[in-house]
Amino acid sequence: MSLEDASLDIVPGELLAVVGENGAGKSSLMNVLYGLYHPDAGTFLMDGKPVRLKSPRDAIARGIGMVHQHFMLVPTLTVAENVVLGREPTKRGLLDLDRACDEVAATAKRFGFQLDPRARVDTLTVGSQQKVEIVKALHRGAQVLILDEPTAVLTPQESDELAQVMRGLVQQGRTVVLISHKLKEVLGVADRVAVMRRGRTVAEVRASETTVSALASLMVGEGSRGAALTGVPVTAGPSGSDTVAAGAGTASTRSDEGTAPSGPIVLDAKDLRAKGDNGRPALQGVSLTVHAGEIVGIAGVDGNGQRELAEVLTGLRALDGGEGTLLGGPLADLTPARAKARGVGHVPEDRLARAVVKAMSVEENVALGRHRQPPFARGPWVDFKGRRERTNQLLTTYDVRPPDPTMALQAMSGGNQQKVVVARELDADPKLLVVVQPTRGLDIGAVAQVHARLREAKARGAGVVMVSLDLEEVLALSDRVYVLYEGRVTGHFPRKDLDERELGRRMLGAESDHG
Amino acid sequence: MLEVLHSLLFSTLDAAPALVFAALGAMLSERAGVVSVGVEGMMRTGAFCAAVAALAMPTPLAVLVGMVAGAGIAAVHGFLSIRWRSDQVVSGMALNLVAMAGGTFLLESLFGPNGTPAITQLSRWNVPALAHVPLLGALVGHSAPTYLALTLPFAFHLLLSRTPLGLRLRAVGDKPHAVATLGLSVSGLRWAAVLGGGLMAGLGGAVLSTAVLDRFEQHTPAGLGFMALAAMVFGRWTPLGAFAAALFFAFGNALRIGLASSAPWLLELVPQGFLLALPYLLTLLVLGLQGQRGHAPAALGTPYEQESR
């Protein structure tokens, strides 16, 4: 059940923001407005008249357009083909691609976008793809434009540009509904803010009359949460960002500003080169060092080699060139088994595909990878008792809910699945921990916990490499940050020099002048 | 030498239509995202029904019956894979087995093990004046399916690349969710492609029993459906590519027959079984050389579920 008695008023010609935690029901509510989901109960009035939206076709016909969080573009088609899909101009029964290109170019120009209608979508940057999505909706005559987490994948510069685009649309008389959980950004651009919590709309306020922390309390619902969040400070994060989850429980392990790395080197890599899945070079000479007892953030726009780097460090992807030492052994002949033997822990991006077997029980998943060692095995046999005991212990320590070792992992929420993965990897006491997007899709409580665990691993002396697309997360946790752009390091910042704008510039490929 | 070429060309053109039609049918279905391993079963059903129908009606009409029968099998595949979202490879293989066993059962219980009675073949377009002109003469003396097979790939090319329907079919095979958010029907498009593919596969089968042979035989289509799939893959899921690949495989087939008849001494060196296996070996070789399936539609084989994003 993702929506429960949610109400929303949308006023023409305004920019309304809908905020809430992950899983609060923002996307579900928007999918109802767009005719993709059908509500069990409730009414939907447009211009005072009740309306039933059976499919997106109805929504489009009534002037509602939506830009989904995960773009709904066909990557192999051109910009123009994507925009006109479903209402294609024809000449004598055949597609009139020239006219399509002209029309799309005209729409793009009218709203001030730079787009080549003949470019294939998979050659465009994420920012441009988003513009294609917006043009697609406007081309269909959208008066109300819903944007679902539009800045999640954008650099700060691209986000600024998007904010201008949204204001521009409102000035032209369109209505924009912005879904986001980035409060600072929301307050900078919205006229009005609706707050959702657990499937309900709990507040509607004017943006000019509220603050980040007031919104954050509304989102989290102070006093209404369980023990998981007790004591979590709801504050602005470092560098003035609006990180809501800044630290959990005993947040005593926060990085000290400007501390230079001092522990022994656990990873020293030079000029790493590797190919991506498509056979094209994904890493083109990446050098980095990681010391014991520090968190090294890897920032970058999605698809700039971060995933491949994490795979190289965990033995999942073969090197094409370059060399390095990882925990006393060469990097060149690393395999997953060798990485594990040397003490590499891995929290991969796609946990269902790579970290767990979702149909197996929690305790079986906890044993995976260490299933031949005590306490999970005794000789050639599974040690059921030892496994159960260790699992119970971990479930308590890591606050996994429900704490049931026999439950199939897939029956748990994403946040609890991730806690199980983190628990398993940290329980092996890794010397180098590689984590990719550790908190994607988790709610605030789980985010805080995972962050606390990463700091704990660091305090225990592990070197942590954290790849994240979430700049706030990188800023909040990292002692040092490398920026990757097109498979190269375009920036290297110690904590004291961290600056969101500069990071963003480097993420877009701006040349490095220090580091 | 010229004579050998002439006869090779002639038998290539005679053997090609079944492969071309089935390859186009499979491609149509797969471009929309529905795996089409059931094409062998659709061909067998089409071949059987056309042969039986031809006992009672003019052969061209019987070919239509074969097409509809192929589409009937495709409809079952559609129900399983579009409506009930079952595994498309398993569904297709199951249909192949059903068609294999069902064809044998019906054949033996109705007509005995030696195939259906002979029927009137589709008539051939004979031009006596041209028939003996080297090479050019190889282009005449075929029945209608051959000429259809030489033109239909271009029509399919036009359909896919230049019509709104084609654009939507390509889109639904690569990113069905994008199509759904534009208010188009994913299952409607996939149904159209699967049924169209079934008509084409049925046509391919019907051609075997009404033009290549004059009856339905026990083993028809003897793996031609799988060869058509190979042609589709080799042709990178494009109509013209599949067409060229199907011609290539048909040529391999003709080569086998040609070698056996024009160079009998070869049979003393090479076992007969090897020659029989030649087209299939060619298929394997070609697929092996091609490597990964990097050109397949992105959403191929993935059932569409609205709630997953």
State the CATH number of the domain containing residue A476. Answer: 3.40.50.300
Task: Report pLDDT for A365.
Answer: 94
Q: Give pLDDT tens digits for A446-478.
A: 888 889 999 999 999 999 999 998 888 898 999
Using omega within 30 degrees of 0 as the cis cutoff, is the peptide bond preceding A375 cis? Answer: yes
Task: Report pLDDT for B292.
Answer: 58
pLDDT at A127 over 90: no
Task: Report pLDDT for A48.
Answer: 84
Task: Report pLDDT for B78.
Answer: 96
Q: Out of A242-251, A254-263, B74-83, B242-251, which region has the weakest mean confidence (pLDDT)?
A: A242-251
Nearest-angstrom CA–CA distance, A466 and A435: 5
Instruction: Scan for tokens 């994403």, then name that residue.
Output: A414
- Does A86 contact B175 at a Cβ distance shorter than 8 Å? no
Establish if A432 touches chain B: CB-CB under 8 angstroms: no
Residue A250 lies in a domain: no
Q: Which of B164, B170, B180 comes nearest A88 by C-beta?
A: B164
- Does A72 contact B171 at a Cβ distance shorter than 8 Å? no
Kindly state the percentage of chain A with pLDDT values over 70.
90
ipTM score here? 0.87
Do residues A108 and A204 share a domain?
Answer: yes
Residues of B contacting chain A (CB within 8 angstroms):
158, 162-164, 166-168, 170-171, 174-175, 177-184, 298, 306, 309
Task: Report pLDDT for B306.
Answer: 66
The dotted CATH code for B2-116+148-290 is 1.10.3470
Task: Report pLDDT for A480.
Answer: 94
Structure token digits, residue A81 = 């083909």
Nearest-angstrom CA–CA distance, A440 and A400: 17
Using omega within 30 degrees of 0 as the cis cutoff, is the peptide bond preceding B134 cis? Answer: no
Task: Report pLDDT for B90.
Answer: 93
Task: Report pLDDT for B291.
Answer: 64
Task: Report pLDDT for A238.
Answer: 37
Instruction: Work out the average pLDDT over B262-270.
Output: 74
User: Could you tell me how many CB contacts below 8 A there are between chain A and chain B?
Assistant: 72
Residue A2 lies in a domain: no
Instruction: Work out the average pLDDT over A239-268.
Output: 52
Tell me the pLDDT of chain A averaged across its residues: 84
Residue A237 lies in a domain: no
Q: Give pLDDT tens digits for A187-200.
A: 889 999 999 888 88
The boundaries of the domain holding residue A58 are 15-224
Establish if A34 touches chain B: CB-CB under 8 angstroms: yes
B chain contacts of residue A56, beta-carbon cutoff 8 Å: 180-183
pLDDT at B308 over 50: no
Cβ neighbour number for residue A238 with a 10 Å cutoff: 18
Confidence of residue B194 (pLDDT cuts 50, 70, 90): very high
The DSSP code for A78 is B
Q: Out of A136-145, A374-383, B135-144, which region has the weakest mean confidence (pLDDT)?
A: B135-144
Of the three residues A224, A250, A285, the one that is the final residue of a domain is A224
pLDDT at A85 over 70: yes
Of the three residues A407, A429, A451, the one that is the final residue of a domain is A429
pLDDT at A229 over 50: no
Task: Report pLDDT for A42.
Answer: 84
Task: Report pLDDT for A284.
Answer: 93
- Structural domain total, chain A: 3
What Rg do the C-alpha atoms of chain B give, in angstroms?
A: 20
Task: Report pLDDT for A25.
Answer: 80
Secondary element (H or E) of residue A193:
strand A192-197
Please say whether the beta carbons of A464 and A455 come within 8 A.
no
Residue A316 lies in a domain: yes
pLDDT at A500 over 70: yes
Q: Give pLDDT tens digits for A375-428.
A: 999 989 999 999 999 999 999 988 888 889 999 988 887 788 888 999 999 999
- Residue count of chain A, please give it: 515
Do residues A19 and A111 share a domain?
Answer: yes
Instruction: Work out the average pLDDT over B185-197.
Output: 96
Nearest-angstrom CA–CA distance, B298 and B283: 24
Return the SS3 of B76. helix
Establish if A76 touches chain B: CB-CB under 8 angstroms: yes
Q: Give pLDDT tens digits for A163-184.
A: 999 999 999 899 999 998 778 8
Do residues A46 and A93 share a domain?
Answer: yes
Q: Give pLDDT tens digits for A46-76.
A: 888 888 888 888 999 999 999 988 889 999 9
Task: Report pLDDT for A222.
Answer: 57
Task: Report pLDDT for B98.
Answer: 95
- Residue count of chain B, please give it: 309
Please say whether the beta carbons of B204 and B46 come within 8 A.
yes
Do residues A66 and A183 share a domain?
Answer: yes
Residue A281 lies in a domain: yes
Task: Report pLDDT for A22.
Answer: 66
Which of A72, A91, A101, A145 to mutate to test binding with chain B, by most B CBs within 10 Å of its CB?
A: A72
Do residues A90 and A173 share a domain?
Answer: yes
Q: Out of A425-429, B76-80, B265-269, which region has the weakest mean confidence (pLDDT)?
A: B265-269
pLDDT at A261 over 70: no
Task: Report pLDDT for A253.
Answer: 37
Kindly state the percentage of chain B with pLDDT values over 90.
60
Query: Would you list the domain boundaries of chain B?
Result: 2-116+148-290
Establish if A135 touches chain B: CB-CB under 8 angstroms: no
Do residues A330 and A373 share a domain?
Answer: no
pLDDT at A316 over 50: yes
Instruction: Work out the average pLDDT over A26-36.
Output: 85
Residue A500 lies in a domain: yes
Q: Which of A60, A70, A82 comes nearest B309 by C-beta?
A: A70
Distance in Å, alpha carbon of A104 to nearest chain B alpha carbon: 16
Do residues A131 and A152 share a domain?
Answer: yes
Q: Out of A19-28, A254-263, A358-367, A374-383, which region has the weakest mean confidence (pLDDT)?
A: A254-263
pLDDT at A208 over 80: yes
Please say whether the beta carbons of A164 and A134 come within 8 A.
no
Task: Report pLDDT for A23.
Answer: 66
Do residues A20 and A50 share a domain?
Answer: yes
Do residues A177 and A32 share a domain?
Answer: yes
Beta-bridge mates of residue A377: A382
User: Whose CA is closest to A437, among A462, A460, A465, A467?
Assistant: A467
* Closest CA in chain B for residue A36: B181
Nearest-angstrom CA–CA distance, B109 and B102: 11
Structure token digits, residue A489 = 């390091």
pLDDT at B298 over 90: no
Q: Which of B168, B175, B184 comes nearest A75 by C-beta?
A: B175
Task: Report pLDDT for A225.
Answer: 39
- Does A94 contact B158 at a Cβ distance shorter than 8 Å? yes
Do residues A410 and A437 share a domain?
Answer: no
Nearest-angstrom CA–CA distance, A372 and A354: 20
Task: Report pLDDT for A260.
Answer: 57
Please say whether the beta carbons of A430 and A344 come within 8 A.
yes
Task: Report pLDDT for A252.
Answer: 34
Do residues A218 and A295 share a domain?
Answer: no
Please say whether the beta carbons of B26 and B193 come within 8 A.
no
- Does B178 contact A88 at a Cβ distance shorter than 8 Å? no
Do residues A213 and A300 share a domain?
Answer: no
Instruction: Scan for tokens 């729409």, then name that residue.
Output: A107
Confidence of residue A345 (pLDDT cuts 50, 70, 90): very high
